[in-house]
């Protein structure tokens, strides 16, 4: 199958417009030099627009079209308090004139009650937010309870994520399209990627895997999990990819044996930065002027650095690092970022 044919398949899906695509892809010359290994490029999905950008922009174009088609007048979303998903959902709902209810779960104790970062943006965008202490199952139950009560009041709620993970085809399709963009842009720039590095737990990697398979590219996709909630991540990615393949009428299937996703860089837990991740967040900012986030992309960049150090990647390789966004959360992580010892008044003697 060609990129054009795969794109045509995606173009048959109805969507609402929330962004301008493609996002840029450019070389990271100074970071390449720093690592002294493979040539590095970055796909800038942190620049998808929609409330400071991120991987959810693409997904919501498909998902929220479905909600509107089903006659929804409000959306119920659930994730962690500092969720990028929630922030982008709140903004997309604002654009589409949908009421947005967010049932958010604390993952950092009292630090999560501070109205900063994504939580601040959720509220600015007019989302109705409730913060709870619950496990993901308890959170999903709360979301459906809310949906039931809103229905009783005559509303037509559409429940997304945490509670509705059974079919992620819209999310997967979004990253099939992103893979097509990467291939087109690499062709124009004149290089062939050997690897794609990505922070992903499920749908983003599932989309890349499906497109890689459909186009027979054989690129090594290396997923770095931000969380360990006990599930089999590779099995999930494979299942979501193949469910989308079926829904999109693609004959290929992803074989879980070839899916790489590691939990080695999570650190203490989801939402808690690692020192290696924070170090890479700083280096990427000071060498490339690009801000990673402390929860997802910095851990993926730490994995890339580690793989280069261990010789798993060499100067023969060309890596595309897919930046999935999340930097708005930096403003809610000032305590954790203080570990970087960011100093004021360094040149006071020269003033």
Ligand X SMILES: Cc1ncc(COP(=O)(O)O)c(C=O)c1O
- Provide the binding-site residues for ligand X, judged by CB under 6 A: 54-55, 84-85, 199-205, 293, 296-297, 324-326
Are the C-beta atoms of 188 and 103 separated by less than 8 Å? no
For ligand X, which is the closer residue by CB, 32 or 55?
55
Are the C-beta atoms of 206 and 241 separated by less than 8 Å? yes
* Catalytic residue list contains 338: no
Q: In angstroms, what is the minimal distance from the CB of 346 to ligand X?
A: 31
CA distances 201 to 99, 224, 232, 237, 244, Å, are 28, 7, 10, 8, 16
Element (H, E) at 196: strand 195-199
DSSP 3-state of 316? coil
Q: Residue 86 is encoded by which pair of tokens?
A: 């929630």
Q: In angstroms, what is the minimal distance from the CB of 21 to ligand X?
A: 17
For ligand X, which is the closer residue by CB, 199 or 302?
199
Marked catalytic residue, from 83, 200, 203, 225: 83
Q: In angstroms, what is the minimal distance from the CB of 168 to ligand X?
A: 8
The gap between the terminal CA atoms of the chain, to the nearest Å, is 63
Q: In angstroms, what is the minimal distance from the CB of 325 to ligand X?
A: 5
CA distances 19 to 60, 66, 136, Å, are 10, 17, 30
DSSP 3-state of 225? coil
Q: What is the DSSP letter of 230?
A: S
For ligand X, which is the closer residue by CB, 84 or 242?
84
For ligand X, which is the closer residue by CB, 158 or 201?
201
Which positions are annotated as active-site residues? 83
């Amino acid at each position: 199958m060609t990129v054009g044919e795969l794109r045509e398949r995606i173009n048959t899906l109805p969507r609402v417009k929330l962004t301008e695509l493609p996002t840029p892809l450019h070389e990271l010359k100074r970071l390449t030099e720093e690592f002294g290994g493979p040539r590095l490029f970055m796909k800038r999905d942190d620049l998808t627009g929609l409330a400071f950008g991120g991987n959810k922009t693409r997904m919501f174009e498909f998902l929220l079209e479905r909600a509107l088609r089903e006659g929804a007048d409000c959306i119920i979303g659930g994730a962690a308090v500092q969720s990028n998903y929630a922030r982008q959902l709140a903004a997309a709902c604002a654009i589409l004139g949908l009421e947005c209810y967010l049932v958010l779960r604390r993952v950092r104790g009292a630090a999560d009650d501070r109205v900063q970062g994504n939580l601040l943006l959720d509220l600015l965008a007019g989302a109705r937010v409730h913060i709870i202490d619950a496990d993901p199952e308890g959170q999903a139950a709360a979301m459906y309870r809310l949906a039931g009560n809103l229905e009783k009041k005559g509303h037509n709620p559409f429940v997304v994520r945490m509670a509705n993970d059974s079919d992620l085809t819209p999310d997967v399709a979004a990253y099939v399209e992103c893979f097509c963009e990467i291939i087109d842009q690499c062709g124009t720039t004149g290089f062939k990627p050997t690897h794609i590095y990505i922070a992903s737990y499920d749908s983003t990697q599932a989309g890349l895997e499906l497109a890689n398979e459909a186009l027979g590219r054989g690129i090594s996709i290396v997923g770095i999990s931000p969380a360990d909630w006990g599930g089999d991540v590779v099995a999930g990615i494979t299942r979501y990819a193949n469910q989308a393949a079926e829904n999109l009428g693609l004959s290929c299937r992803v074989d879980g044996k070839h899916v790489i996703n590691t939990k080695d860089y999570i650190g203490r837990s989801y939402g808690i930065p690692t020192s290696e991740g924070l170090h890479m967040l700083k280096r990427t900012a000071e060498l490339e002027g690009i801000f990673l986030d402390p929860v997802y992309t910095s851990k993926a960049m730490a994995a890339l650095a580690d793989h280069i150090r261990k010789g798993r990647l060499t100067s023969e390789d060309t890596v595309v690092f897919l930046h999935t966004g999340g930097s708005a959360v930096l403003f809610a992580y000032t305590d954790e970022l203080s570990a970087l010892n960011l100093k004021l008044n360094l040149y006071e003697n020269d003033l």
